[in-house]
Amino acid sequence: MAEGQLHSRRILVTGAAGGQGMAVARRFATEGASLALSDLPGPRLESLAAEIHASGSSVTAVPGDVRDEEQVAAIVQKAAEVLGGLDVLYNNAGVYWPGRDAPVDRLDRDVYDEVMAINTTSVFLFTKHAIPYLLESREGALINVASVAAYAGDTECHAYAASKGALIGLTRSIAQHYGPLGLRAVVICPGFIATPMVDWLLEDSAATAGVVNSTALRRVGQPDEIAAVATFLASTASSFVTSTEIVVHGGLVK
């Protein structure tokens, strides 16, 4: 395989078996990265790892529950052992629950806590345990996936907006604290991307039209477009990019 933008980069991707995570994992593999892929145990994660392995790329599946610190620590340790260290942590695991998530006056506390645990606390946990390896890399990068809801809000899913907004403050704090030690930290904020997470919206022609008409490029985004941005941020070509958000929303106006 020809050397790509991520040749020799050792990367752990969480939420790898979902729409954006899967596209990012495939792109990272194509660009020459050595990968550890994490998600809940199941056939989708195993199938993705097998597919990437068959392409000739170095990959291992490290399943686990992102809400459990012991499992997170074990995932990070296994990834670092198999890869020989970590250069990049790509925190993609997340949930979006229209119908269960709601405006604050109707939002169940258990739902709020669960969304925060998966979308925000998991990022803290993975970063906490990966920091020693990322610093050892000397060219380490932390990439967290938020959403345009982080700053524009979400009219119906208030826990989701809160969970993604918190990632900006956390990521900037990490970037400022660990930057002198060589670690970069950035946030990707996608807009409406065509993944299974928003199938409910894409199946509603009126709702889809509303999104499209509110987007300067007059379409929804594709997972590969997030993967392209993620590849740049994971590479050493972005060596002076840190403590910021990269918004990928096609000119969404809210």
User: Active-site residue numbers?
Assistant: 160
Q: 177: which 2 tokens?
A: 């604290």
From CA 9, how far away is CA 4, in angstroms rounded? Answer: 10
Sign of CA dihedral 126, 179, 236, 139: negative
From CA 227, how far away is CA 141, in angstroms rounded? Answer: 15
Q: What is the CA radius of gyration of the chain?
A: 17
